Amino acid sequence: MKTTLSPLNTWHPQESLSSEFEVIPLRDRKKKHIPTLNRKIFNTLEKHGAWINSQWPFLVHKLVEVGMRKRNLSFKEVHKRNIENTLRWIAYHSDTVTGCINVTHLCIEIGKEIGVSSSTISVIMKELVIMGLLYEPEQSGQSIQDIMHDGRLPRTLCTTPLFYEILGIKNDELDRLRSIEIKRREIEYAKRKEKYDADIVLKTYCHSNILRVWEYRHTQSTSSYKIKLADMEPMTRLTYISRKLLERIKAKGWPISTEKEHITKMANNLLRRMGLSVKRSEFAPPIT
């Protein structure tokens, strides 16, 4: 990963950069193996840019309709550059089959490497969702971390067919290229005596993305949240977390079991990630 800004503040994958972080000419690059779909749309962006499709004014009009911008249907140059850099990153890193991306990873890499603030990236992600290029998968809203933190952590987002369409990939070709990758993954999973299921993989991916952020924020020794819980008696903190889980599940109306045993297990799993789990021997005896 680069540690300085790239020329013209354009995001490039590592394969495009020399050890001095200079852009390597296309003919001299040692390309990393990425799925054909990702390579095709990234090449389109690199050769022609993002603004080759005539649908853009119609997409931007959606932002006008929801009040995100005035009636001007063109972006300022700096905003066009930021959006294009975001699209370049998504094209290169998105999962071929599900289209999902780790928004946290995107924000960190784009922001650090081309000097874009997190608030700017947040606006861009919201714009891409409203324009119909990205959507939030159902699974990303049902993670334990979203329950605990009221959905404030970065989410997993996925590309829509329209994302590929504006970059020249029609639905038929999209289905064909994805089927190739699905078959490849099925073979890889079969070697491990497992079955590939894109829906299960997406759900796991969504949860893992948020878990990693939660762990980073709350398992540090200086985390006020961890210190607060560490000061509690074992059963007190287990009861506290269980209550927060239950409140969040009911508030969201999620189809998650609220049986006491299930909630207690979820709460203790959260505490275990912080090194504060409650041992069975510390559980309070049942009231008789």
pLDDT classification of 223: cutoffs 50, 70, 90: low
CA distance 137 to 155: 9
Q: Residue 74 and residue 281: Cα distance in Å, rounded?
A: 64
pLDDT value of position 210: 62
Token pair of 24 as six digits: 């390597």
- For the cut 50, the answer to whether the pLDDT of residue 262 exceeds it is yes
Rounded Cα–Cα distance for residues 91 and 84 (Å): 10
> What are 198-213's pLDDT values in tens digits?
988 888 777 677 666 6
Confidence of residue 285 (pLDDT cuts 50, 70, 90): low
Mean pLDDT of 261-285: 80
Residue with more model confidence, 180 or 28 = 180
For the chain, the average pLDDT equals: 82
**Tokens 């013209």 belong to residue:** 8
pTM for the model stands at: 0.72
Q: Where are the chain's structural domains? A: 15-226, 228-287
- For residues 144 and 98, what is the distance between their CA atoms, to the nearest angstrom? 21
Which one is predicted more confidently, 252 or 201?
A: 201
How many residues would you count in the chain?
Answer: 288
User: Tens of pLDDT along 129-158?
Assistant: 999 999 888 766 544 444 444 444 457 899
pLDDT for 153: 44
Q: Which residue has the tokens 């200079």?
A: 22
Higher pLDDT among residues 205 and 253, named by residue: 205
Q: Give pLDDT, residue 213.
A: 61
| Each residue's pLDDT tens digit, 39-84 | 999 999 999 999 999 999 999 999 999 888 887 778 889 999 999 9
> Which tokens sit at 206?
């969504």
Cα 31 versus chain centre, distance: 24
Question: Could you read off the pLDDT of 100-134 as tens digits, one per residue?
Answer: 998 878 888 887 777 788 788 888 988 999 999 99
Give the bridge partners for 159, in sequence order: 134
